[in-house]
Amino acid sequence: MRELEETKWKAQWIWGEGEESPRNAWWCFRKTFTCPDQNPEGRLSITADSRYVLYVNGVRVGRGPVRSWPFELAYDTYDVGYLMKPGQLNTIAVLVQHFGVSTFYYVRGRGGLLAQLDFKAKDGSLQTVGTDDSWKASRHLGQDPRAQRMSCQHAFAERIDAGRWDESWVQHGYEDSEWKGARIIGPAGMAPWHDVMPRDIPPLTEETVYPKRVASLSRTVPVPWTACFDLRNHMFPGCEDHANAYVYAGFMATRIVLFGGAAAQAVLGFPYAPPLWNGVIMNGVHYPKGAFRSNKSEKYLDVELQPGDNLLIIELAGSDHGRGLFMAIDCDQPFALRSTIDILKDNESPFVSIGPFEGYEYIDHQYDQTAKSKQRLIELCARADGHLPDDLTTSDRRIIEEFRAVRQITDCSELSRFNSFLRPVALDYVSRESVLALAMMKKQSEPIALPKQLQNAVMAHSIPAVIPVYDKADTELIMDFGRQISGYITFELEAEEGTIIDLYGFEHMRDGWIQHTYYLENSLRYVCRQGRQQYTSPVRRGFRYLMVTVRGATTPVKLYSLRAELSHFPVAEIGQFQCSDPLLNDIWEISRHTTKLCMEDTFVDCPAYEQTFWVGDSRNEALIGYYLFGAEELVKRCLELVPGSKSQTPLYADQVPSGWSSVIPNWTFFWIQACQEYVERTGDLIFAETIWPHIEYTLDHYLVHLNEQGLLYMNAWNFLDWAPMDQPREGIVSHQNMFLVKALRYAAQLAHDLCKKDAEKADLYTKSAEALAAAIQTHLWSEQEGAYLDCIHADGRRSSVFSMQTQVVAYLCGLAEGGRKERLERYLLEPPAHFVPIGSPFMSFFYYEALVNAGLHKQMIDDIRQQYGTMVEYGATACWEMYPKRTDGRIIPTELTRSHCHAWSAAPGYFLGAHVLGVKAKRSGWNQIAVEPKVCGLSWARGSVPLPREGAVDVAWRLDDKGNMQLQIWLPEQVDVEARLPDGVQGTVEIYRIG
C-alpha cells in the first residue's frame, strides 16, 4: 500500500472528560467498525501523551511512543490487516497512560490520543477510521491514581484492583454501552504537539524470559502503616510542568491517635530518608537525624506513644528533587492518623504542611546571588544550634526564628500561631501504602525451607506453584531471573477475590542480604479478582530479583507463571569476542549484556533506577554499541534529540528529552565529539550538514564564557567523575577546559569534512582551541607538583587537589608536550599516592583511551582484569555503575555499587574489539580499515566487529610455541584492509574475502 506510507492525518486528538493533564491517569479508548468484504490491507498510525498500549481485536499490537520532545512527538505505524476480520465488526482498543508530571524522560504535555487506521475498501478506495468523538472513553477504574512516583526520574508505580475493572475491555465483544464518548481536543498539529513525526527506529523487542529459580521463601508480618509522600509537588503547586529540584525549609505534621487507654512502644521508620529530611519532633521532643538508628538511607526511631493524641512533626530542610519521602509506623496497639485540622475536604489527607518558610527552584546553570542567599538561609534553618550570624537581615532572622519555633510545639493547639503557613496535603500526594517500605521494614520475617513444588513457578509448563498460606502472616517468595533484565512483568495465577500480590524488583542479593532500591519504588500491587487471571504490566522495569509477597490470602494462590517481556532496541549480536583468558571472556559478556539492556528507544544509563538518556554517557556507549551491535541507527537518534533542549538552555541539557533543565558542560562537549565520530563511522554527510548548525550554536554560547585569562569559567554542574576531585560548581575547572579544547578541534574537523563554506568557522574553532590550550598551559599547570591542578575557584584560589582524572584528560586531549607529556605518561603507570584515584568505570573509559594513546595496551587490559574481575567475582551479570568501596584495602560487600547495570561502564565491549582484535577504521565510512592486534599477555583471540553498512570483520590470531603469530582476517570484498602484526612479533597474515 504505497499510498499509505505517509500518514495524512484526518484523525483528531481526543481525550476523556475532566482535567486536561491529570496526575497519573489511565484512560481506555475503544472504536468498533466494519471492515471491507475482502482481505484488507490496513495500517494504523498512533501516538499518545504520555504512553499507549494498542490492541486490535484483543491482540496486543504494540506500545509507544518513543521518547521525544512534545513539539515533535513521534508516532508509530503498524500493519494490522492480518488482524482484521473482513465483513465483520472489528475493535481497536488503546490504553493511554498520562503521567501528568514531567520526568527525566518526558516533558509534560496534556492527555491525548491520536490514531488513524487507513485501509482499502472493496472498490479500491481508501477508507479511514480515525480518533474522533465516535470513540468510546473510560477511566481505567481498577488503576489507583494515588500510586506514588517510582522516583524523580520515573513516572508512577502501579496499583491495580482487578475486581474493579474487566480486563476483557480490549476484546471485540466487550459491552461498552456505558462508556462515554471521547472528547475532541483538536486536530493533528495542535499545541503542544506542533509536529507529529514518524518513528525513526524499529519497534523494541519483547522476548519472554522466565526466572531461573525461586531463591527463598519466608513467612512475614508487615508493619501496620506505610506511605510515600510527594512533597515537592505539594509544596510548590504547578511544578509538574518541569522536573527541576526545589530547595526549601518547612515541616509536615499529623496526629498519631493511640487507642486502648495505655501508652505503647512504637517505631517510626523512614526506609528512605531523602536529603531534605532533617528529623522529627514528637510531642515537643526534637529528634534530629543523629538520634535515629541508621542503616544506609534507612532511619528508625523508638518512641513511646501516649494514649490519645501524639503530635508528629517532620522537619524538612534541603533539596527535594521529587524522590519522595518513605515512611512507616510499627506499633502493636491500634492507632490511626488524624489531621491537625478539624474539618477536611474530600481530597485532603491526615497530613498538613507548615511552610515552606523559604524556598527556591534550583537550576544549576542559573544559580545566582538570590539563590545563594536563599540557600544560606535554609541551611541556617536546619542548624540545631541557636547561633545566628550577625550579618542577617531582620527579615531573614525572623524566618529562621519562626522555623525553629516549630520545634518547640508540644500539641496541636500551638499550631494556630502558624495558620498562615498551614496547608492540608492532598491525598494525591500521599500513597495508600508503599510496597518498597513494606519490603524494607517488617515486623517479623522468618525464612522457611523451600518446597520443591514452588519451583513450578519458573517453569514453562501448566503445573502451578501452590503458594502456602500462614496464619496471621504473609508469604514472601524471591524469584531470581539469573541476570539483570529490563522489560514488562506478566503473570498468571488463581486466587480468591481480594488477595493482594505485591511485586518488588531489585538488583542484588548476596548471602541473604538484599540491596534495596533506595528511593526507587520499583513495585507493582495487584489486588486479585476471583479465579484464574492474567496481568501484563505496561510499566517498564529493570531488576534481577523479584520479591513476590502474597497478603491477605486465606487459601493458597496457584501461580501458573511469572515472567518478563525482555524489551530493548532490536539488534543482532554481530560483535563477538573470545580469547585465552576466561575472565576477559566473562567481562566481555557482561559488557554486551549491559549495553543491550541499556539500549531502549535511546541509550539509557540504567534500566532500573533512571531509564534516562544522559547525553555524555552516550558518547562512550555509542563506541561500545558500534563494536558490539553496529548500533548506528540508535546513535543517530540520540544525537538528533539533543538540540531539542535549546528551549531550556543554549548550552544544551545533559539528559534529553527531560523536564530537568540541567547542564554538565562536558556532556555537551562529548556530544560534539560523538557527532564527529558518528560521521567517521558512517560517512553520513547529510547528518553532518543537518547537525552542524546546532553544534555551532552551542559552541558559540560556550565561548562567551571565556574569562579574561582565556579560560572557560562556568557556573553549572561541572562534573566528570564520582570521586573527591575538586570540581566546584562555579569557577575554572581544568578537565572541562581541556574537553572544550577537544570539542573545538572535533567541530573544526567536522566543518572541514563537511563543506568548504564552513572553512572560516572551522579556522575560528581551531584558533580558539589553540588559544584555550595555551591558557591551560599557562594557568592550570603546577610546576611545584609537576601536574595539572583540578581547578581555580571563584575567589581566585588555586586548587590544592590533584587528581588522576585531570592528568588523564590533559593527556587524552593532547595538551601536554615534551617533559610534561613524559611526566603524565609516568602518572598513567604509577599515580602518586596523594592523587585522587579514578572513581568510576565511566572515567576508566577515558583512562583506557589515554593508555592506548600511550601504547600501554597491556596495562589497559590488566586494569580491566582487576576492576571488572571484581564485578565477576561478586556475581555480576552486568557492569556496575561504580567501583566498590573499600576499607583498609578490602571490599565492603554491602557497598559494591548503586546500579548493577549501567551502560557507561561497559568499556570492555569496545576496547577488546578495537585493540585485542585490533580492528579500527582508516577512513570515514569504514571503507578502509586497519587490523593491528595487541597481544596483552594472551595466547590467542578471535571475534567479529560489525561494519556500519553490511557485513563484519572477523579476526582470529594465535601465537605458537615460538611466539610467532598467525593472523587471519575475513571481510567483505569492498573493504580495504591494512593488516599489521604487533611490534616485535613475527608471523603470517591470511586475508579472506567475502564477495
For residue 125, the model assigns a pLDDT of: 77
Is residue 464 within 8 Å of residue 494, measured between CB atoms?
Answer: yes
Report the interhelical angle of 759-779 vs 685-703 (nearest 10°): 40
For residue 295, the model assigns a pLDDT of: 87
Write the pLDDT tens digit of every residue in 682-696: 999 999 999 999 999
Q: Which amino acid is at 469?
A: V
Can you give 556-608 as a three-state secondary structure string?
A: CEEEEEEEEEECCCCCCCCCEEEECCHHHHHHHHHHHHHHHHCECCCECCCCC
Which three cell numbers mark 539?
510499566
Question: Does 1 have pLDDT greater than 60?
Answer: no
Distance CA 222, CA 617 (A): 40
In what helix (H) or strand (E) does residue 748 lie, and over which residues does it extend?
helix 734-754
Question: Does 3 have pLDDT greater than 70?
Answer: no
In what helix (H) or strand (E) does residue 822 lie, and over which residues does it extend?
helix 818-829
Which three cell numbers mark 974?
569492498
Q: What is the arithmetic mean of pLDDT over 806-812?
A: 98
How does DSSP assign 298-353, residue by residue?
EEEEEEEEPSEEEEEEEEEEEEE-S--EEEEEEESS-EEEE-SSSS--TTEEEEEE
For residue 2, the model assigns a pLDDT of: 36
Write the pLDDT tens digit of every residue in 829-884: 999 999 999 999 999 999 999 999 999 999 999 999 999 999 999 999 999 999 99
Question: Does 387 have pLDDT greater than 90?
Answer: no
Which residue has 564520582 as its cell numbers?
A: 722
How does DSSP assign 171-205, residue by residue?
STT---TTSEEPEEEEETT-TT--EEEE--SPPPP
Q: Which amino acid is at 197?
A: M
* DSSP at 463: P
Distance CA 812, CA 846 (A): 7
Write the pLDDT tens digit of every residue in 192-220: 999 999 999 999 999 999 999 999 999 99
More confident residue, 739 or 754: 739
Peptide bond into 389 cis (omega under 30): no
In angstroms, the Cα distances linking 593 to 568, 619, 638, 877, 924 are 11, 18, 20, 8, 28
Helix (H, G, I), strand (E, B) or coil at 529: coil
Give the angle 955-958-961 at the CA atoms, nearest 5°. Answer: 170
Which three cell numbers mark 53?
498500549
Lowest mean pLDDT of 143-147, 295-299, 909-913, 934-938, name the range.
295-299
For residue 756, the model assigns a pLDDT of: 58
Helix (H, G, I), strand (E, B) or coil at 644: helix
Q: Are strands 523-527 and 158-161 parallel, antiparallel or unpaired?
A: parallel
Distance CA 361, CA 319 (A): 10
Which three cell numbers mark 225?
502503616
| Distance from the Cα of residue 936 to its chain's centroid | 35
Write the pLDDT tens digit of every residue in 38-64: 767 889 999 999 999 999 999 999 999
Compute φ and ψ for 3, nearest 5 degrees: -70, -10
Q: Are strands 928-931 and 976-979 parallel, antiparallel or unpaired?
A: parallel
Report the interhelical angle of 615-629 vs 632-641 (nearest 10°): 170
In what helix (H) or strand (E) does residue 75 lie, and over which residues does it extend?
strand 72-79
Write the pLDDT tens digit of every residue in 930-984: 999 999 999 999 999 999 999 999 999 999 999 999 999 999 999 999 999 999 9
Which pTM value belongs to this model?
0.97
Distance CA 968, CA 987 (A): 11
Compute φ and ψ for 348, nearest 5 degrees: -110, 140
In angstroms, the Cα distances linking 224 to 433, 441, 659, 759 are 10, 10, 36, 70
How many residues would you count in the chain?
995
Given CA atoms 439, 441, 444, 447 in this order, what sign does their dihedral have? Answer: positive
For residue 39, the model assigns a pLDDT of: 67
Confidence of residue 178 (pLDDT cuts 50, 70, 90): very high
| DSSP E strands, 82-165 | 89-98, 112-120, 126-130, 136-139, 158-161
Question: Does 496 have pLDDT greater than 90?
Answer: yes
Closest by Cα among 428, 446, 427, 437 to 525 = 437
